[in-house]
Structure 1
Amino acid sequence: MYDSRYEEYKKMMNIINELNDIIILAKESINNNRETKSSKLLDYIQNKLNESGESISQLKEPFLLFVMGSGNYGKSTLINALLKRNIVISTDIPNTWKLDLFVKKNNEKIEIIYSNNKKITKSLINGNKLLKNEEDKFKNSKIKVSQNVAKFKRENKLSINELKKYKQQQENENLYKSEIVKVRYNLKDGNMLDDFIIVDTPGLNQILLKDTLERMKEYYTKADGVLWLVDACNIVSKESNKLIDEMNKIDNLHNNKKNIIAVVNKMDIISKADAANIAKVKGKANEIYIDKFDDVVYISAKEAVDGILNNDCDLIQKSNIDSLYKSIDVNFTKISKIKQIDSKYKNIFIMRDNIIKEVYDYKRELYKDISNYNEIEFESKKKSKEIYIQVLNYIEDIKSNNTYNDTDLNDLKTDIEKLQIKCNLDLEKLYEVLYEKANINKSIDIEKLNTNVYFARSKNLILEYNKSYTLDKNNIKKANQLENILNKLNPKNPKKQYIGEILTKGNVYKRINNLKNEISEILEDRISFIDFNINKIKDEAFKEKYLEYSKIKKHIQYLNEIENILNNLR
């Protein structure tokens, strides 16, 4: 179904790396120091890719094989048998206070971690000496507690509850509690370390572990495989059965059943006592455990280690340790490989769906803003042209329907002021619409433009004439005669010399035509200024929200490439 874990790792990382390369190019194209919607999207995608990359990298790491069970059942000896090395020193005192990890590394050493996160590194020999010293402190403190309890019992007549209470008090006061919480053995070789990190958990029934059940759950949920150690001399254990039931509850809660092998140890002791006991032990173990574990294997870890160290093939075969190796390969290595690779691909598909959704939502809003961006120029030209035509038509109507008094332009000025008011309202309305569309980044406050025009200030609406003249038909004739005389008196000066302008119908038309040209220029300038301002606003707002508009085509191309890669994942 799958290639090796490493080959599947390379396939997955090729996808992640390809996507990351596109993200890097996309980020470079933005070249924006500010946080924008575009940069947030690219950061989101990159974070998801990094998370997936970290998860996928676990395919290069060994599985976690947890050795669990009640204390003093031979866990240290079993681990030595799994490693095919005598690394862990077996003592009479169970491992009650620390987590031991056995990891393959080129440089052999022991890393010791304390509860305050202090870490020291020792050689294998010196590290084991330090650990033995901790075990001896515990052993001696336990002896002291037992002696104090025995003495107190001899000297006092106590009930069972009183004696338990006194014992608890002595343990709290005198029992040694090591500050070491974890020990990491870095080993060059070990039979199973290519595929597994072997974890030796504290004994689950030890008196120091008041939170036994919670710690068991923590170890159990992290494990890729569990070896549940059972003492052949104590098959029926109320505490073990209780813990197994708790594991089943965890399986049901997380819908993720762990692969567990029951390892019935110390079969050498059973066989020495009575060969017939072997069948009884196996029968009882099968009755209790066959439905609770993936396999039940019967071994002698002690015989296995002795056989390995002495190169005694017969003793190794007698120990039945090879059956455990095979069971681990079938029930853990192969199954865990498939489950792990399945899990990583599932995570990639989840990542794919999340990224595609984010890109889709982003592009939907982006395309809407691009559409508005492009519509602004069209709408500006259309509405500006309408305003321009209305203004010119208005002036033409004034010209066509001239009822102004020949002696006064006040009525004309009043009409132009009305035109000015209407034009300013239209320009303001146009600007507000364009501004709203252009300023897509609503959080940015961009100063608005003054769109007003001032037609009524035109010089063509101001009439200069001599107030002493009554401009009737007779005086118009006289004024023209006077103007001719003055011109003749000063023929070298082409500039008109006159006392005042005498309005005629033609003069009014002339003024209106000049006014029309002036208003046209004023309006064109204002509309051009509005267009310039709106274009500046839309460019700044688009850049603040996304990126420079000139780079949007390449940006979308990068997003499409990301989508295509993710959509092709099957």
Structure 2
Amino acid sequence: MDAVDIKKHSKKCEIVFAKIIKNSRFKMNTFLIEETKYKLEQYEEVLKKLKFFIKQGSVFKDYLDSFAEYSVQIKDLLDNMDDKFLLFVVGTGNYGKSTLINALMQQDLAPIDFRPKTWKIDVYYLDEKNEQNVIIKLNDGQILNMSNEDAHKFIENEEKLTDKHKKEYNNIKNEELKKCKTKKERDEMQEKLKKEYLYKSKVVEIRWPVKQNKFLKNILLVDTPGISQNLLYLQNSIKDYYFKADGVIWMLDGLTIASKNNNEMIKELESYLGDLGGLNDNIIGVVNKIDKVYANGGKEAVDAVMNDANNYFGDKFKYIIPISAKEAFNNPNDKDLENLNAKIEDTFLSDANSLKLESKKKGIQKIVKDSIRINKEFEGFISLKNSQYQEKYKSIQKFEKGQKEKLEKEVSNLVEKYLEKVSSNIIIMAGNLFDIRGENESKKYVLDNIFELNKFQSNLKTFISNKEDFIKIQAEDMYENAKISKYKYISKIVSENISTNLQMENLNLKINQSFNIYTSLGDFSGEGLLNALGGVINQVYKGIMKMMKINSVRSNLSTTINKIVEEVEEKILKVFNENIDKIVKNSFKILEASYMDILFDYNKREKVCKIIEQFNNDIFKEKEIKLKDIL
């Protein structure tokens, strides 16, 4: 075997690796773009399939809106791959973010002492072509272009709408919360009211043009909402916008460095950085109001504050820099401002492409992770509602079977009790008929004394009336219980109307009194006493009068009353069973409609879950990167 020329091969390896290093950044950026495009296609495919469902219930629609927002975020990151470095200024309340932004740009552009009511970011960009175009991005992907004046009017209107709806919410909140007994009920009620009454602006980002600004040459400077800004929206968080940031300046108040808000910020920052894999080399901490700290205690106080800042945040930020944003704005040669600018250059701009690449990659991972989370939550909600649907479906079937069995038993008991009494009367009283000479008198004796038809009819009317009232109450209960609610704790408190126009079956509880047993005392020749029996009793009676044997009389009487009772029983069961069937049919309609009002057609549930699950699997697939692709 020939000897291997190590030196020769090493030289070739050096050339290969040099080529890899030279092209890797460009190639990796290209791969990230391709991967992002692929992921965006997955989002769009899911939305295309799911929006095909014409019937979209309220929860399903909310899910689609949230999922669509993630799709917009992916697209926004993709569109911004070639943007300048996005530098975010983050902080709690009025820690001087806007003042620092103005100091960095050395222009009075970011409004100070203004508490916006909309949850958005303001991006300041260098208007190199002097077009003075304000770009407004909405959460549904729309992009509005307008003049500076129109943009301010637009935002002012959004602020007014937000304020107006907040007042409406506050006006109704206390009254509605009085209906709740537990904390869980109150929390869910508040969420319901927020959704119904609060106005949440679609504006997520505004890009403001800035003329001739040195700082913005390589940077897009971003002002963010105050972290503790109370806009009443439960999900407001730095996580709403942090994923867009290539770099971050995190503002701290030097006067309250160990405050509760700072501790909350640390927890939220740790949580978010944990989601991003612990990324913290793109964050500079800035301790503001250092002039006031110095005024209160001189250099010793400043040193103490900076020592506390490093103890609390030293492992979270790459640098922690003291500054007075106010003094820095008034003095462009401020040493602390110069120090901050130097750290921005060193931390962000010296390796901007790598940081941008990493932040975009992490941002996409965050969006995908959030998308999977809401998918799992939505699938869990679907599973819960499917279980409730099945339970209610079985309950309706149980109601149908139970009510019919109960009705049959009640009618049977009523009839058996009556026939038992009549049978006794026949045995005891049938012989008396031989002592009665007049036909009408004999007939009256049979109906009143032996059959006791007046009494039987009175009992029937009482039974039917009570049953009618019971069926009406049962119908109302069944219709209410058949509804599926989107709420977990306040379903019994709130009224949820079904939006679908149901064709309900009307109940007909008035039984046709064709079995009205004792209608008259006419003779046996025509009209008959029993509409249900017709002329049967007439003929029987005549037979009875002709027969002299008591057993025959008793047998004919028993046959007559059994036929009457059989027709009565059949009619009662028929009418009430028909109404039970209508209640069941209506209940199933309500069950299906209420499910659809929340989600979609119940028969589409498996298809929806399959689409979502397919996304969850496909979104993690990555295109294979081969060595030849980066050489």
TM-score w.r.t. length of structure 2? 0.45
Q: TM-score, normalised by structure 1?
A: 0.49
Report which of the two structures shows the higher radius of gyration computed on alpha carbons: 1
